[in-house]
A and B are shown apart, each in its own frame.
Chain A
Amino acid sequence: MNREDFPMLKEDLIYLDNGATTLKPQCVIDKMTEYYEKYSANAHRGDYDISFKVDQEYEKARELVRKFINAKYKEEVVFTSGATESLNMIASGFFKKYLEPGDEILITQSEHASNVLPWFRLANELQVVVKYIPLDDHHYVTLDNVKKTVTPNTKVIALASITNVIGDERPIKEICEFAHQNNIFVVMDGAQSVPHRKTDVQDLDVDFLAFSGHKMCGPTGIGILYGKKELLEEMEPQNLGGGMNESFDNPREIYLKDLPTRLEAGTPNIAGAIGLGRAVSYLETIGMDKIEAYEKKLRKYAMDKLISIPHLDIINIEADGGIIAFNVNDVFSQDVAYYLNKYKVCVRAGNHCAKILNQETGVSNTLRVSLYFYNTESDIDSLVELLSNKEKIVEEML
């Protein structure tokens, strides 16, 4: 759907790496260009018209994001550089203060590096423990397994709502309900889910949420940290400097601004934030439910065809997100990716930053096809045709 909105799709390109980043619609590009061409002043300097316009647009973008995830307050929406920075802020800005030696952090082996390493750092710094929730035979997280892994020392559960290699969706709402009954916080890495289905932080009742703009038709270098207001109030800013302080006289007298500005030190990524706001309205116009349904249908269409290719080893026949991870038997994934590239088909090869997932699946590298709403059945047909002839792959990979 909506292919005509994307300048990149005017080229002869089959882009199937949407888990890495998405293409940008013209309206987002135009919105950012408009900032650079018509009012490219700094934020928080309302002394003249164009700066006042910046503040208006910047805060409008925040409000658009707030509505998009149904946060209760605008102050709960913090602009960051992306999901990675958001998750680091959550771990080092909030949990570093909160956790005590012996406390447990629960993650899984299918998390992205950005939802593993910030916790590993805390484990080293605070003598807290990172534990893995076991996955079921299909690499899914079940509420039962969460319950079995939780102990009286568990203080936080940090999970991707949809994972970036397996594409499984976690029962976040149920996990939150159980966690909160046991005084456990829940951190949701929404990088692979927020772009693809409706997200309602109040309904889910998550404590923190992180996601990136560039995976949802927005620009790179911008993302969101959502946190419940009372928790963000306790968050230690990781960056101190301009824009976020109220006043300071000496090291003991530093007064910071209110949320969310306190957590956005320095000149923000203004064009990025405004671009993300535009991307959010664009997605809303299409409809998140429609996007989710379309992607599911397209994934099924792809799976029905791919499954009949005998030399493919598909890692995730079942998945909730539009992600398909597979290998061509006896051919290194990267060689297949290079072969597909010759036909302008973009897929990713590798471990996709989920570097401990191989302990779970036994497979260290895969090809990954990740879909978005602008992909078509014709894209899939081309992929299937290229993959169906193994001799051709081996012949042309060199």
Chain B
Amino acid sequence: MENREILLNHYISSPYKKEIYDQTYTKIETKSDSCIDHLHIFLKKENNKLVDAYFNGEACSIATSSCSILLKNCINKNMEEIKEYIENFERMINDEPYDEEKLQEAIVFKDIVKQGNRVSCAYLPYKGLKKWMNE
């Protein structure tokens, strides 16, 4: 699948975007300082593992698709694996050596993160997940 198609699928019909508020999940808000992206991420942890997650909110195509891909790649991972996954993504946006394979679909952001402030859109859900892990 082409990068654009992957992005569009996650933006337009993400299975992780749900307009519900399940109180059994932990809700994390992540909001951009420089634009209007505002995501709510809902996470369920059992035995040190992210067993389920979904999101909603108002955000651009990049922040939305990035959140969808992030959740897809992190569900069923334990906290250490998620931490490693996030650090790998951060290495990509910081132009440091990273593992392409481990990013899976998130590799579609490889070029987008070089487009000025769109990097903050792509990174926004990661900020939210990190906040949750540090709480």
A residues in contact (CB < 8 Å) with B: 332-335, 338, 349-351, 364-365, 397-398
Contact = CB atoms under 8 A, between A and B. Distances in A.
Question: 10 smallest A-B Cβ distances: which pairs?
Answer: A334-B60, A350-B36, A335-B60, A335-B61, A398-B7, A332-B60, A365-B36, A398-B61, A398-B4, A334-B35
B61 A397 contact: yes
Contacts of A350: 35-36
B113 to A, nearest CB: 13
24 contacts: A332-B59, A332-B60, A332-B61, A334-B36, A334-B59, A334-B60, A335-B60, A335-B61, A338-B118, A349-B35, A349-B36, A350-B35, A350-B36, A351-B36, A364-B58, A365-B36, A397-B61, A398-B4, A398-B7, A398-B8, A398-B11, A398-B61, A398-B62, A398-B112
Contacts of A338: 60, 118
B11 to A, nearest CB: 8
B58 A332 contact: yes
A332 B118 CA distance: 14
Nearest to A341: B116
Nearest to B62: A398
Nearest to A342: B115
B58 A365 contact: yes
Contacts of A333: 36
A351 B35 CA distance: 10
A335 B121 CA distance: 11
Contacts of B35: 334, 349-350
Interface string B84-120: 0000000000000000000000000000100000100
A48 B101 CA distance: 69
Contacts of A335: 60-61
A86 B39 CA distance: 34
Given A338-B60, A349-B35, A365-B36, 20 more contacts: A332-B60, A332-B61, A333-B36, A334-B36, A334-B37, A334-B60, A335-B60, A335-B61, A338-B118, A349-B36, A350-B35, A350-B36, A351-B36, A397-B61, A398-B4, A398-B7, A398-B8, A398-B11, A398-B62, A398-B112
A365 B62 CA distance: 17
Contacts of B62: 398
Contacts of B60: 332, 334-335, 338
Contacts of B7: 398
A246 B37 CA distance: 50
A338 B11 CA distance: 16
Interface string B58-73: 1111100000000000
A310 B44 CA distance: 43
A130 B59 CA distance: 31
A361 to B, nearest CB: 15
Contacts of A349: 35-36
Contacts of A397: 61
A334 B8 CA distance: 16
Contacts of A351: 36
B65 to A, nearest CB: 8
A13 to B, nearest CB: 15
B40 to A, nearest CB: 14
Contacts of A332: 58-61
Contacts of A365: 36, 58
A335 B4 CA distance: 14
B105 to A, nearest CB: 14
Interface in B117-131: 118
A315 to B, nearest CB: 16
In this complex, which of B60, B112, B118 has the most chain A Cβ atoms within 10 angstroms of its Cβ? B60
Nearest to A331: B61
Contacts of A334: 35-37, 59-60
A67 B62 CA distance: 49
A351 to B, nearest CB: 7
B5 to A, nearest CB: 10
A160 to B, nearest CB: 21
A351 B31 CA distance: 14
Contacts of A398: 4, 7-8, 11, 61-62, 112
Nearest to B117: A338
